[in-house]
Amino acid sequence: MSNKSILILLPFRAESPQHPSDTPFGRAAIEASKKGVEVLFASEPGKLLAVRKDEWTVSNGDPSAVYDRFPSRSQPEAWDKLWRHWGHLPWGNSPVLTNLCADKVETQRVIGDMPELATDYNCFSEKLKEWGSAFIKPRYGALGRGVKRVSPGDTLPKMTDGAVRGVLEPTILQREIRPPVDFSALSLRVLVQASNNGWVVEQTVARVSDSSSVANVALGAQAIAGEDVIPPKSLEKAIKISISACDKLKAYRGVGLVLELGVDVLFDERWEPWVIEVNGRPAGRLGALAKLQPTRFGSVRDRLCLTPILFLAAKHCT
């Protein structure tokens, strides 16, 4: 057994009989083992799984560090058990970081130059008249849930659906960035990953909607390679401001080791980019591309799954 052992916290579905090689993180574990790094997986305390000859096997391994991919907001009780069991280890993308990214108000306070927010519900109507249009959204939401474009005169809910289905969250109001002509909605996910040479961005994913004002793959938006739809200079600027945002979040007190962040960027009518939010557990966007064009993007997705594992191992394993 390797003395370099990384634990990935990841929910497992009992109904999925897949071999490790059928999953992105399973393939990453296979590749990591070739480089002397053992990858363990857990979705509950005390039950570690490893990859042996393309099969999931129970392991007695002793991980050196944790890579948290577990949905703590939608499964808080399960995540708390994992934290109590392995919270003493070094974590990549720590709870401090993921909680910071989940809070859109605090994220904006740290990053700065983002579309203006209104957080006092009593001021929403006045701000909306000033801006002409805006998006009302849950303060801690995810997957586009509860996000709606509003104009003066529209009903403005004080609470709305958030990250956890059935649980209402307080709303915030954010000035609309009007998209470039010919787009109903357009956003860009920039996956920024840490390396020994600084931040790297290998692939961006645009989300395009022809019928909705919210561009989110979870809500039916189309995933397209960023370079296929964003003008080169605008794409370069988007990557630059995304890395700047990651620098500011990395400097926040107590975040620890940052492995990767998913930065969401909007473009205005002049194709100028604006950071709109940051995801502490980025997932799914490149996967959507890989499903559409496996030959072009399958190997890219696999490399990007492997990158944080090897970086964490280099930092915290002997």
What residues pair up with 168 in beta bridges, in sequence order? 161
- Report the pLDDT value the prediction gives residue 1, as an integer from 0 to 100: 39
Whole-model pTM over 0.85: yes
- Report the pLDDT value the prediction gives residue 154, as an integer from 0 to 100: 94
Rounded Cα distance, 219 and 102, in Å: 19
Rounded Cα distance, 48 and 102, in Å: 28
- β-strand 198-200 against 185-195: which pairing, if any? antiparallel
- Report the pLDDT value the prediction gives residue 164, as an integer from 0 to 100: 76
Token readout for 20 is 């490790």
- β-strand 168-175 against 117-118: which pairing, if any? antiparallel
- Report the pLDDT value the prediction gives residue 15, as an integer from 0 to 100: 45
- Report the pLDDT value the prediction gives residue 185, as an integer from 0 to 100: 85
Strands, DSSP E only, in the chain?
Answer: 5-9, 38-42, 48-52, 55-59, 65-68, 91-92, 117-118, 134-138, 148-150, 159-161, 168-175, 185-195, 198-200, 204-209, 222-225, 260-267, 273-279
Q: What is the pLDDT along the chain (318 residues), one digit of tens a residue?
A: 346 899 999 987 654 557 899 989 999 999 999 999 999 999 999 889 999 989 999 999 899 999 999 988 888 899 999 999 999 999 999 999 999 999 999 999 999 989 999 999 999 999 999 999 999 999 997 767 788 899 999 999 999 887 777 788 999 999 999 999 888 889 999 999 999 889 999 999 998 877 655 656 665 678 899 999 999 999 999 999 999 999 999 999 999 999 999 999 999 999 999 999 999 998 767 888 888 899 999 999 999 999 999 999 999 876
